[in-house]
Amino acid sequence: MVKSKDGLISAGILWLFVFATFVGAQEAPVLSDIAVQKGTDQLEVRLVVSGPVSYESFTLFNPNRLVIDLLQVSEFRNPAEVNVNDFGVSRIRTAKNQPDVVRVVFDLDDTVPSYSIEDRQGTIHIFFRSERPAGRQPEPKPVEKPVQTDPERETPPPVTQPREAVQSDPQAQYGTTARGRALSLNLGGGLYMPQSMNFQEVYGKSSMSLGLGVTYYLPLSSVEDLGFSLDGSYISATGATTATAEEVKLTLIPVMLTAFYQRHFGNIIPYAGLGASLFNYKETLPETFSVPEVTGPVLGFNFLIGTHVKLMQQLSLRAYLRYHVAKKTDEDNFEINLTGSELGIGFSYFFNL
């Protein structure tokens, strides 16, 4: 009966993760339109995205450009070039910069106009303002949205130029960013599956675990992060001695410090890492034993793989598999082997720093 219950729990965790991954992958936002509106004293450009979006913006010089990178945006459906020729903006170019980054480049005049950027529920508004002589009105130049007729020219060549410029000016990459350093609180649970046959004979092949942790994220690029996670779990199991079938109880509290690398693919964010594990154990023995309990620490290390599935801007579903290597021999020459796998699922809530 115990084996059947553990199998159902494992299957439930895996099916929930697969379903959430499918849903998350279907919701990757796209840039659907770039709308340009000219007024008497300003130019308004709207980047219309089909869902919540994070972005980075910075300026480049010689020639002058404003660059906006839309992060975790899978594609764009607007024309690749839009001519403006007003308010210090000559044209707007769009291209895929990376697999899940759409880059929008504003080609500016020699005199860079003043501008501001606002994020309004999936639409990014850019306002350009320039000084005009009194009484002078803007020339009636219509906004052009040419239709691409040659499939070979659908992806415009200017993509290479902004990318090279960004690499030559690393301080400008995060000039204005909506995704920087972050902190997350993690809550989850799952199954701890020991590898030791002696452990399995007494306590079974798996035990329930509950976990809590905190993670610090340091961006490496617009789609890559380095993370440092401090996690703790609570594992409790009840079993019986093999010789006398007397009840024994075991409590494990592993504490893990892990460094990992992750990459964003739209709403899917896989990660992998390596870290140290410290198992604190307490085994309560039957009254017939000479000692009532055995306690102590076991130091080891762990390998971690997993993925986040973004449910909303600050909340994600995560699934992970952590393999622990933790064993030692005590003063009585008795081996304590806590090596095993931990399969879990949970939620992470993010805070921008």
Taking the domains of the chain in order of start, what are their residue ranges?
29-177, 180-352
The proportion of the chain whose per-residue pLDDT surpasses 90, expressed as a percent, equals 45
Query: Given this model, what pLDDT does residue 142 score?
Result: 52
Beta bridge pairs of residue 70: 55, 102
Query: Given this model, what pLDDT does residue 174 score?
Result: 30
* CATH match of 29-177 with 2.60.40.3500: yes
Residues 6-32: pLDDT tens digits? Answer: 555 555 555 555 555 554 445 568 888
The three state secondary structure string of the chain is CHHHHHHHHHHHHHHHHHHHHHHHHHCCCCEEEEEEEECCCCEEEEEEECCCCEEEEEEECCCCEEEEEEECCCCECCCCEEEEEECCEEEEEEEEEECCEEEEEEEECCCCCEEEEEEECCEEEEEEECCCCCCCCCCCCCCECCCCCCHHHCCCHHHHHHHHHHHHCHHHCCCEECCCCEEEEEEEEEEEEECCHHHHHHHCCCEEEEEEEEEEEEECCCCEEEEEEEEEEEEEEEEECCCCCCEEEEEEEEEEEEEEEEECECCEEEEEEEEEEEEEEEEECCCCCCCCEEEEEEEEEEEEEEEEEEEECCEEEEEEEEEEEEEEECCCCCEEECCEEEEEEEEEEEEEC
pTM over 0.85: no
Pick the CATH number of 180-352 from 3.40.50.1980, 2.40.160.20, 2.60.40.10, 3.40.50.970: 2.40.160.20
Chain centroid offset of residue 215 CA: 11
Query: Given this model, what pLDDT does residue 165 score?
Result: 35
Mean pLDDT on 34-52: 89
Which value, in Å, is the radius of gyration of the alpha carbons in the chain? 28
Query: Given this model, what pLDDT does residue 6 score?
Result: 53
Of 283, 205, 282, 288, which Cα lies nearest the Cα of 243?
288
Residues 235-290: pLDDT tens digits? Answer: 999 999 888 889 999 999 999 999 999 998 878 899 999 999 999 999 999 888 88
Query: Given this model, what pLDDT does residue 353 score?
Result: 76
Residue 181: pLDDT band with limits 50, 70, 90: confident
